[in-house]
Each structure stands twice: as structure tokens, then as C-alpha cells.
Chain A
Amino acid sequence: MSYETVILEKKGERVAHITLNRPEKLNAINDVMMRDLKAALQEVEKDTETWVVVIKGMGESFSTGEDLSLKWPSDVMTPPPKERWFLSELWESEMRKSNFWQYIYDFPRFTIAQIHGHCLGWGCFLAMVCRTSIASEDAVFGDPSIRAGFTSLNPLWTWKVGVRKARELLFTGKYIDGREAARLGLITIAVPKEKLEEEVDLAVESLIIGTPIGGFDSESFDMIFGRTAFDISGLAAAWGYATNVHALSAIQRRGFEPGEFDFFEARERLGMKGAIEERDRPFKELGF
């Protein structure tokens, strides 16, 4: 099957590559891409011979995250506080998002994220929900959504980088490079840019050679039961909670106090690019 915003290719008997394909938008994720990515994964799931899925980005970046130019109604962008909408619409949209991420997180095959260039916001989510993530050392990671007043709807941050660093990253929205991301545990491996593809191929090969030892049956048990262990230690509850708090961050209709950055207002005034620049300017001045 072919999709509008992703490319699904089978490479050999065991491997599928899914390429995010909106290079002109730096693979920003919109509603169509959400739907396509899930559909592509479902297609892979039906093919029991495929053990490994590599997710990567076309063009100069892996993904800059959620497409900030989208207007409500959209599952990717929350509604602006001033527009009229029903809470039930928001909650349903939040549930769809959460289920989307959990679907990839629980995907019953090996998933590998191959990351280069920008990997921001939802791009980071995509890296975190894959079982292995390999990035070039100069890739840029971060979730700047707090700068516009939103929280992360993905609870995996604290699991991946620990409580201290999660707070540091999410309170300031700061950017880190691939090497630092690997040191913190956000991603598995960071390699020089020119070696990225080679490293991913090596990882894929190791899975294909290694899996038959003990059998895919036992690997698959480990994937599924292993996830249960995290749920036992609170991850299941945390998904729900993070989703609800994210919805709350969209709901706070009080709007913003003077001086606080209102993304929706800025977007109307300056356009998307200008709004992002304005959002990041004070942080850049401080070196974040």
C-alpha cells in the first residue's frame, strides 16, 4: 500500500523501513502522518515474517515534531484557548494521541529509530517509543512545548532520562545534541553522522542473526511481558495521567498573563516561523 506522508518499503525478508516523507516541512507530524504511520505499522504487523522496523526521516531531519501550523480541529495541535470547543472533543482527541503513542510503544516487533537532524517534541516521542534509537551525534533533541505552556503527553521522559534531567529538559525546553541524549539515556546509541546508516544496518543485522537463537517466540515474549513489567512499576497509570495533564494544559482558559508567550496569538500575528522564533528568542539569549 502507498501512503501520502510515509513510505513503507520491505528490505529483504525480515526488515521494513518506514520513512517519514514531508521533507519540505522537516517531517513535522500532522494528522495525516499520524494516521499513515499507524496504518503502515499495522500493515507490517500483519506480515509475521517482518521482525524489524526501521523508522527514519526523509530529507534533512528526522522530525521537528508536531506540525505547529495546524488549526483546530486537529489531533496534533490542541485548540487555542479563545476558540469555542467542547471539553469532550479535546478529551477524545487526547485519547487518540495517547493511544497512538502507546500503540507504537507496544509494537510487537523490534522498532529502531534512525535519527538525524532535528528530533523535537513528538520527534522525541517517536524516538522514545521505539525499542532502540540510533542517532547521529549532531542530531538535536528537545521538547520546547513548555515555552508555549504545554506539558509533555508522553510520560517516558522520567523513565528514560531520570527525574532530575526530565525536569531540566521539560521546564526549560532546552536542546541537547545526540551525544548528550545518549549519555542521558534518551536514545540508545549516538554515532558520527556518516556512520549512522551503517550503525543502523549493523543493529538490524544483529537482530536478524541473533533472534533465531532461542527463537522469535522467546524474543516476542520478552517484548510483551517486558512491557508489563514497566506497567507494573507505574507506567500504565503514568500514560493516563500525562494525557490528562496535557489536556489540562490546553484547557487553562485563563489564557496567559501579560508578558507570557501566547503561541496562538503570535502565530496569527507573525506566522508560524516568526512565532517559533519569538518563542525561542529569550531562551536562546540565555544559552538554551
Chain B
Amino acid sequence: MPVFADRDLSLIKWHTQYQKNQCEEAYRKKAKEGRSYESIIYEKDGKIARITLNRPEKSNALNDALYFDLLAGLGEASQDPDVRVIVIKGSGRAFCSGHDLSSPQGDESPPIDPKYHPTVRDFFQFERRRCQKYEDIMNCPKATIAQVHGFCIGAGEGIQASCDMTIAAEDAQFGTRGFSRLTMGITAMGGSGAPHTWPGGSERYRAGRMLPEISGKEAAELSLINKAVPADELEKEVERWAQALSLIPPERLAIVKEGINGTLDITGLGNAFRNHYNIHLALQFIRFRPNETNLYKARRDKGLKGFIQTRAEHATPIQDAE
């Protein structure tokens, strides 16, 4: 879906010569490439750009291709002088179900299998890329809104957390699953670096339970997201917020956004991301006790289906939400 081909660049009002050069260059390059996205849908509607994560058959699980397209889409919207607001949403029944654990070995998105043993140097490079994705989303100079429905799990939560605003359906489900799920509750992501609860030491973010999963409604009550609305009103509500944000001149928004992101960095968020690489690196050398479930092995031996099945077998429903 080439979006640039038919643009008349002479009609665009540029803020500065620098921006003009930059954008024209990007436009020429994109037009030449005839960029088309495979895993996202990029739509532009006046001042609002919409990026739809589009792997509905996988509940929009993140693989390398989807990440690449998402960031390219954000890049395109950032460069486009018309666009003031970027909405990120998911197609199908979920916003995003986290890393695609069925990705081929060697992909950078899912957690690396301990058997894979990359060198520490390699590891740091791709860990940094992995974590930088969230920082890239956070530092996008335009206003970003995550429109969340259905599951918003693991890395999906990282994406919504890195957006400026999150509007969710009341029945959306936020949480981390699989690994490290019990110690810090919903703040697990805050503890290891996602900005929305940072520095998140409060017990309230666990919403009174051991399982780190909460609904959109609860998340809104805890100010983890901005607003929760009934699922059928979600689209309309996000449109309203996007319209309001599009009233803000883009240069001013970039300045004030830098102010808030800088404040987060001052509290050590960047450093916490580095700490997060180290957790992942350390987890490379994880060993399993005889009575523990080796989910990596389950995935190796039985594939993704086996992995999910094994996890479900062991993760008996522990506690009711009520």
C-alpha cells in the first residue's frame, strides 16, 4: 500500500528548511521504494494516522516483521508534517498478545531459548534493540494513543505503556504471563522498566491479587491508563481524544513531550532498561529443577501448541478476580 506515490510535495507547509529537507528526502526514498506494509495497516485521515497491528490470526503477536513495520509506520507518521496524532490499535480480537513465541529461532523478538547460547556481545546488541523499541515508541515526537481491546499482554503492554495515552475497552485484559509473573504483580513491567507504573512500588498496582492481570476498567481506576469505556464505544472515544490532541501544535507537543520523557529518564528509566537487558542475559543461563516445567523445552519438543498446552496444564486457575 504505497502511501506516498501521489503526494504533491509543493503543497505542504513546512515549519523549517531543515524539516523540509528531511521530509522531502524521506518521501523521495519511500516513494522510490514504494513502501508497503505487510504486518500493519497504515491509514491517514487528516491530522490523525492510524497504525493497525495486523496479524489477527496470531492475536497480533509481535514477531520481527511486525516490529519492523510498526516502527517504520511510526517513522513515517513522525516524518509526515500533516500528522499530529498517531493511534496504535490491533485488528481482530486483541490488541496484542505479546511476543510471538512461534517465531523461528534466531528472531530477536521472543525470549531467546537458553540452548541457543549467543555470545554476550551479540546478546547485548540485540537486547538493546529489543528494549530500544519501547524507547523509540516513547520518544516518537508526535502524540501517540494506544487503543486497546481484548488481550494486551507482555510486550503488548510494553507498547501501550510507551504511548502517551491509553484508552481501553473496559473488558480489555492487561498483564504479563509466562515468566516472572508472581513477584511484582502488574508492576512486573514497571520493575523492569516500562514507564506506565514507573517506578511503581505501590501494592495498589497489583489490584489486590497475586496474579498480575487486571481489566481495562481496573487499570483506569489505578491511573495505569487514561480511560476505559465499553467495548463498543472504544472507537468513538479514541477518535474524540485524537481530535483533541490534534488541536495541539506539533512543535509545542514535541517540546512538552520531551519535558515529560526527560523527567522519566531523570528518575532512572533509561538505566532500568539497561538493567532489563541484564535480566535477559542472565536468564540465558537458567536451569530447571527436576520438578519444574521447562517451557523452553516444551516449545522445542512440541512447538507452540505444546508450549501453550504445557503452560495451561501447570497454570491451574489460581485465584478468582473477585
Contact = CB atoms under 8 A, between A and B. Distances in A.
Q: Is A–B contact present in the complex under a CB 8 A cutoff?
A: yes
Interface of A: 110, 131-133, 156, 159-162, 182-190, 202-203, 205-207, 209-219, 221-223, 225-226, 228-230, 232-235
A233 B275 CA distance: 12
Given A218-B179, A219-B182, A229 B193 contact: yes
Nearest to B210: A206
Q: Which of the four size classes fits the interface of chain B?
A: 35 or more
A233 B192 contact: no
B318 A233 contact: no
Nearest to B270: A232
B81 interface: no
Given A215-B288, A221-B279, A131 B268 contact: no
Given A209-B318, A217-B287, A233 B268 contact: yes
Interface stretch (B8-16, B70-78, B201-209, B245-253): B201-209
B293 to A, nearest CB: 5
Contacts of A160: 201-203
Contacts of B319: 202-203, 206
Interface stretch (B154-162, B234-242, B309-317): B309-317
B138 interface: no
B283 A218 contact: yes
A105 to B, nearest CB: 11
A192 B286 CA distance: 40
Contact of A182 (B208, B286, B295): B208
Given A182-B208, A206-B210, A206-B211, A215 B203 contact: no
A217 to B, nearest CB: 4
Nearest to A184: B204
Given A203-B210, A213-B314, A233 B182 contact: no
A103 B242 CA distance: 48
Nearest to B313: A213
A202 B211 CA distance: 12
A232 B256 CA distance: 24
B122 interface: no
Contact of A183 (B204, B283, B292): B204
Contacts of B201: 156, 159-160, 230, 235
A229 B318 contact: no
B273 to A, nearest CB: 10
Interface in B76-114: none
B272 interface: yes
Nearest to B208: A189
